[in-house]
Structure 1
Amino acid sequence: MVHTTRRRLRRAGALAVAATLLVAGCSQEEAPAPEATTVAPTLDPHKAAAPEPVVPATWPLTGVAGEVANRPALAVKVENTATARPQSGLEQADVVWETIVEFEVSRLVAVFHSQIPAEIGPIRSVRPMDPDIVAPLNGLLTFSGGQPGILALVDASPVQPISHDAGAAGLYRVSSRSAPHNVYGDPNALWAQADANHQGSPGEQFAFARSPERATAVTQGTPATTLAFDLSSQSKPSWTWNGTVWERSEGSTPATDATGARLTATNVVSVVADHLGTGFGAQNGATVPTYVLGGGSGEGTLATGGRTVAVRWQKESRDAPLVLTTADGKTAELAPGSTWVELVPKGSGSLTVS
């Protein structure tokens, strides 16, 4: 009996334990699943998206930062014979183009936009290459006069002509020089004549680096001290690097403006182009030449920051700006500042870099 009683007690205890485990298991299976909780990420205000960089406005013909005035480019034909020097206003020009005309003398196309000189001159007559040079500016071209056929070329271009011979305001003769070397202009009076189609600022004519040290000649070029040009028997300008800018000389004589300031440039561009005779004549049977620019291309040299690099130039049409590229086909970038373009007659002119 005792053993039977013990077996019954053990069996009852086992059944009780099993019942307890069964209840516990059922409780675990029937327990509701915990609800999912979404926690929003904490944003660090210091790690917000970076703002868009602010690119300062730059003057289109120099690449120099500043508040750009809405006025057209003013191109002026300036004489460059010994009788005409020193000229007025050249140091304030954004771009100056040097060309060779009849009798192998040099004549300049000075383009003003970012600076306003007190006076510009002496101003001389228009030439056949001028429309190709200034057409991309869609601005004003000021000159003293010209042959009817050449005037027709100007009229057919996008520029607005302002001629002294036609009685335009702002042009006058000074008594300190003899004719025809004495026509001068007041730039403000010339700008005031811009018509409705020539009010806006010009487009960029060259590509500019964001800073001088990023200019193509500085990053890819070779050191240079002197640029000696032989443009013709009567024109042999040179440029010398002074550590900051290129200084101009006419032969061995330092070139200055009427105030005595040295003529300088941040960039000097050599453009080698065909220099051909035209059907226009000059005194004593001389032929008026021109340059083949619109639709043309050729070799050149870009000088910036005391260094030079070979470039290739291309001008798709009369109205398109001159484009400079390096040997790898990339656009050459100038340093912000003024530029002189030396048009070198192909086959007869030259540039010596030393």
Structure 2
Amino acid sequence: MVHSTRRGLRRAAAAVVATTLLVAGCSQGQDPAPEAATVAPTLEPQKAAAPDPVVAPTWPLTGVAGEPVNRPALAVKIENTATARPQSGLDQADVVWETIVEFEVSRFVAVWHSQVPEELGPVRSVRPMDPDIVSPMNGLLTFSGGQPGILDLVAASPVQVISHDAGAAGLYRISSRSAPHNVYADPAALWAQADANHQSSPGEQFAFARTAERATAVAAGTPATTLAFDLSSQSKPSWTWNGTVWERSEGSTPAVAASGARLSATNVVSIVADHPGTPFGAQNGAVVPTYTLVGSGEGTLATGGKTIPVRWQKDSRDAPMQLFTADGAPALLAPGNTWVELVPAGTGSLAIS
């Protein structure tokens, strides 16, 4: 029993000696164990900037979504006497400006871009206010003729002139009406004459909301059903909201195009501006008036069965007319066609009901 214990102690001592020698050998003859490596965190590459949102293209004169055809704005002087009605192509115009000329009758500057009617007319002569209306579009201005001084005003503007009296192609007389109410135009033939400086589509003339619900008058205006204009003793147009669009009447008579379509507008813009006489005369000594459109003034925007007061501003002949609300924010029209009523300051009026 004693011998067994001694043998166990000798074995334990030998194990201790062996372990000590092993440790010593490692420390003297081998490289120390490497320290644990520190691994830097993997960094994700910087994320790319978010792409710009895709904005659907729109037609510049209407704000309606679509792929605009690259062609110039086509402005045409259209007569609006009782003898001239119903006119051709007005139901397809993007914008129509109504002006009061001599003898207190109204005449239109109608502008086409997004649609191509088969025929336009009756086409009549140019007036002094026309360059201020059409110059911002840098397009084509078509008319039947004009006085030398007024023609000089137009020639000094950036538009391309297409005049029937000058023998331009695409203008002709029809046999179903008597002169001077029988000059008509083929719009495709007019566009075909655009020169190298008048090939491009116009810029946006008014600011448009992306949807009708976001239009300024719809969002913040006062409900209305009728816009009754008194532009002169001979011109008293009115517009009635039918739940979808504003429908035009000449006095109490519904206004229609030659196609039979009721003349209507998505937006009706009332612009109150001075209406002074000019040195130009008409028959029987009548004075040819114009409008003072460079500057600013009061107006009304009607959209979606509602109206809102606006301030208009036009910085130069070649600058588009801008509309602002009372707080200075841009007034947004609804996508669609627009009629602009130029109300003579001091003598014209608009009654809203």
Fold match by TM threshold 0.5: yes
* 1:165 corresponds to 2:180: no
Alignment: residue pair count: 325
Distance 1:289 1:33 in 2: 97
Instruction: Write out per-residue CA displacement over residues 102-129 of structure 1, whole angstroms, 9 at most, x where no aligned residue.
Output: 0000000000000000100000000000
Residue of structure 2 equivalent to 1:9: none
Aligned to 1:219, the other structure's residue is in SS state: helix
Residue of structure 2 equivalent to 1:300: 299
More displaced, 331-340 or 51-60? 51-60
Amino acid aligned to 1:331:
P
Residue of structure 1 equivalent to 2:280: 280
Instruction: Write out per-residue CA displacement over residues 267-315 of structure 1, whole angstroms, 9 at most, x where no aligned residue.
Output: 0000000000000000011000000012x11000000111111000011
Could you tell me which runs of 5 or more consecutive residues in structure 2 were left unpaired when the two chains were aligned: 1-15
Distance 1:268 1:189 in 2: 30
User: How far did 1:37 drift?
Assistant: 2.9
Distance 1:33 1:332 in 2: 72
Aligned to 1:195, the other structure's residue is in SS state: coil
Residue of structure 1 equivalent to 2:352: 353
User: How far did 1:330 drift?
Assistant: 0.8
Amino acid aligned to 2:300:
T
User: How far did 1:239 drift?
Assistant: 0.5
Distance 1:300 1:31 in 2: 89
Distance 2:231 2:36 in 1: 91
User: How far did 1:34 drift?
Assistant: 2.8
Distance 1:269 1:202 in 2: 20
* 1:188 corresponds to 2:188: yes
User: How far did 1:52 drift?
Assistant: 3.0
* 1:62 corresponds to 2:62: yes
Aligned to 2:82, the other structure's residue is in SS state: coil
TM-score (norm 2): 0.89
In structure 2, relative to structure 1, the CA distance for the partners of 1:49 and 1:196 (3 Å cut) is: closer
Amino acid aligned to 2:36:
P
Residue of structure 1 equivalent to 2:215: 215
Q: Percent identity?
A: 80
User: How far did 1:131 drift?
Assistant: 0.4
User: How far did 1:220 drift?
Assistant: 1.1
Amino acid aligned to 2:84:
A
Distance 2:262 2:197 in 1: 36
Distance 1:301 1:42 in 2: 56
CA RMSD of aligned residues (A): 1.9
Distance 1:53 1:256 in 2: 41
Among 18, 31, 34, the alignment partner of 2:36 is: 34
User: How far did 1:197 drift?
Assistant: 0.8
User: How far did 1:145 drift?
Assistant: 0.4
Distance 1:302 1:281 in 2: 33
Residue of structure 1 equivalent to 2:134: 134
Distance 2:44 2:168 in 1: 71
Residue of structure 1 equivalent to 2:315: 316
Amino acid aligned to 1:291:
Y
Amino acid aligned to 1:234:
Q
Residue of structure 2 equivalent to 1:174: 174
Residue of structure 2 equivalent to 1:327: 326
Distance 1:309 1:52 in 2: 33
Aligned to 1:324, the other structure's residue is in SS state: strand
Amino acid aligned to 2:186:
D
Instruction: Write out per-residue CA displacement over residues 238-264 of structure 1, whole angstroms, 9 at most, x where no aligned residue.
Output: 111111111000001100000111001
Distance 2:203 2:44 in 1: 48
Distance 1:190 1:351 in 2: 35
Distance 2:268 2:39 in 1: 70
User: How far did 1:81 drift?
Assistant: 0.5
Distance 1:176 1:186 in 2: 16
Could you tell me which runs of 5 or more consecutive residues in structure 1 were left unpaired when the two chains were aligned: 1-15
More displaced, 51-60 or 127-136? 51-60
In structure 2, relative to structure 1, the CA distance for the partners of 1:257 and 1:52 (3 Å cut) is: same
Distance 2:177 2:225 in 1: 36
Residue of structure 1 equivalent to 2:9: none
Q: Which structure 2 residues correspond to residues 41-52 of structure 1 after superposition, within 5 A?
A: 51-52=51-52
Amino acid aligned to 1:232:
S
Amino acid aligned to 1:350:
S
TM-score (norm 1): 0.88
Distance 1:58 1:48 in 2: 29
Distance 2:231 2:261 in 1: 24
Amino acid aligned to 1:132:
D
Amino acid aligned to 2:59:
W
Residue of structure 1 equivalent to 2:269: 269
User: How far did 1:31 drift?
Assistant: 7.7
Q: Which structure 2 residues correspond to residues 77-226 of structure 1 after superposition, within 5 A?
A: 77-226=77-226
User: How far did 1:67 drift?
Assistant: 1.0
Instruction: Write out per-residue CA displacement over residues 33-53 of structure 1, whole angstroms, 9 at most, x where no aligned residue.
Output: 53223454799xxx9975432
